[in-house]
A and B are shown apart, each in its own frame.
Chain A
């Protein structure tokens, strides 16, 4: 069980969309926006409130890559590895960030909960390739060194 305040927040979000089955996705999106992840207890709670079977709610939440049951860091870095970014060398940037942050394909978030590193298939900014985003702010034409510098800046901030 989470603290009551989480359920109160969930109630507020459910009320803003209406407790209808069709509102499942927008509701859990808002919860994820609020907490930067989707606490599994809240998915169960929302399912119950909307009259959706837990197994079905879980099917929906795992269908979309965007939903995460793991708590994410303060800064969510998304490196684009779509075709354009890939051919313009996005992988060396990813590798530099892995080593800079001590992360790997299996471990996406730093111990201090500062950074989460993810790859995405396309950010729709191919003209700026290779590109990454930090909490939805776009950083164009990146290089491994620029990425290192960015991490230092964020740590200092």
Chain B
């Protein structure tokens, strides 16, 4: 690509033609503060934090959208610029709910950080009318507090461009503008899919998950309850970020230790039920192939994707695997098999999940998710909520020893742990399906073609003389592309994995928020996914059907995969929903 030569703060910089000033500054190691900017998602130059001086230009220009050209001379940190940015912040603060002490985002708020960096001394510099908004608590998974909203549009851009859901937008104009849904509906009344990508895109505390950590503590304090916990695969790849570990650190051992210290009676692992999901789903897939069932079969682990399909493709539900998600399979097995084994009444078991996901909060209340006549899972908290709980209880995470999960619902294979990355479920299913079909042991269990963070991946594998065509999509705008092809009858896939969030669960809506300045230039998805693939590689057993506890579960209780009992406990149904 052609390069152009410019000067930034007097230094010679060479950057690709067509770059923005912000990108060129990044190449030169010069930091320009941003607030509304999310690379390739929200590039609207609205907040004016990134303003810079360009020699010869009449006004300050927004670095995030202004392209460079040959010989351009740019200044990024003059006192006039700092004054301008500070004034912008003071104007934002004039209508901002500044109760920072009790704010869920305090300490990780991009607005707060900029105010500190740029030396805003008086948060009430501009006094005037301040709008007051009621909280929107209508959705199962999250709260919108527009009193903390700075109208940056990062949430609306993600909802529309990344997720193709677009149930939020700016309503009204000028001073009356607020982010909301059509006809001021509550989010819970719209076709929001609960993915939570808006929460991880928000720079402030305007969007946050419904916090159920007090419910967890109350359950633990109740001596009549047997409280068990299951963390999802991707939680171990991201929780460390909340405690100062570099992104991509696998903290599996400390995660188990922390959960034990919180006071759970048993610390199990969703990886176990991920393996179980593979047994059922691979069986379902082979059944559909052999019996001429509806193809492609599509995975059902991601509740955001499931809700999306129900709202936007209600005519295509027959493609969805009837398998419950690993979270729900875990709860279902815990309250049937495990309850029986332990001599416990399922009503006395409280099943808590720790998820990278906000849609899981919606999923636990779905119909047909109560194998033992009580909800399979009682409380679902996000990775962020777990971090909050660990801090609240004074557990020094970094000094914890590495501990194992408990048996029997804590045993897992490498196939279970890669569920957290896009392509992981497909790879795990292939490991089992190929060995089942060929009756031979795989020489290489790694299916590289379905790995990586591209939005859509396709591959064809020749298995026992049959070409199996698979596709993997993550992020709902990519899912939409696949679904449009499926609806039009133009897709010849046999098996499709879809995850609601871009990159899969490692980048879920319940994961630690990553500062936009990091997110814009680092592939968070790939770094966290690597922790899972490394975890898999280090495991001796890497195929779900070799999980001894899962095998015992079938022998002692479930019978055959896809059999009557397995179907009753591990499978579910879907509903047609409308677009609102």
Contacts and interface: CB of A to CB of B under 8 A. Distances in A.
A57 B172 contact: no
A55 interface: yes
Contacts of B175: none
A136 to B, nearest CB: 24
A59 B170 contact: yes
Interface in A16-50: 40, 44
Contact of B173 (A56, A58, A63, A69): A63
A54 interface: yes
A44 B182 contact: yes
Contact of A62 (B160, B167, B173): B173
Given A40-B183, A44-B182, A58-B182, A53 B166 contact: yes
Contacts of B160: 53, 56
B173 A54 contact: no
A11 B183 CA distance: 22
Interface string B163-189: 000111111110000000111000000
- Main secondary structure, interface of B, reads loop
Contacts of A40: 183
Interface string B398-412: 000000000000000
B182 A54 contact: yes
Chain A: number of interface residues, binned into ranges: 10 to 19
Nearest to A48: B579
B438 interface: no
A53 B172 contact: no
B78 interface: no
Interface in B483-499: none
A44 B183 CA distance: 10
B573 interface: no
Interface string B238-279: 000000000000000000000000000000000000000000
A4 B170 CA distance: 31
Q: For B169, B172, B182, B579, which residue has the most chain A Cβ atoms within 10 angstroms?
A: B182
Interface in B164-223: 166-173, 181-183, 190
A59 B169 CA distance: 6
A71 to B, nearest CB: 16
Interface string A51-78: 0011111110011110001000000000
Contacts of A62: 171-173
B185 to A, nearest CB: 9
Contacts of B183: 40, 58, 69
A52 to B, nearest CB: 9
B172 A55 contact: no
B88 interface: no
A121 B190 CA distance: 35
A15 B168 CA distance: 28
A59 B176 CA distance: 12
Q: For A40, A54, A64, which residue has the most chain B Cβ atoms within 10 angstroms?
A: A54
A121 B183 CA distance: 26
Contacts of B580: 54
Nearest to A56: B169
Contacts of B190: 55
Nearest to B166: A53
Nearest to B174: A63
Nearest to B172: A62
19 contacts: A44-B182, A53-B160, A53-B166, A53-B169, A54-B167, A55-B168, A55-B169, A55-B182, A58-B171, A58-B181, A58-B183, A59-B169, A62-B171, A62-B172, A62-B173, A63-B170, A63-B172, A64-B173, A65-B173
Given A44-B182, A56-B160, A58-B183, 12 more contacts: A54-B182, A54-B580, A55-B166, A55-B167, A55-B168, A55-B181, A55-B182, A57-B182, A58-B181, A58-B182, A62-B172, A64-B173
Interface of B: 160, 166-173, 181-183, 190, 579-580
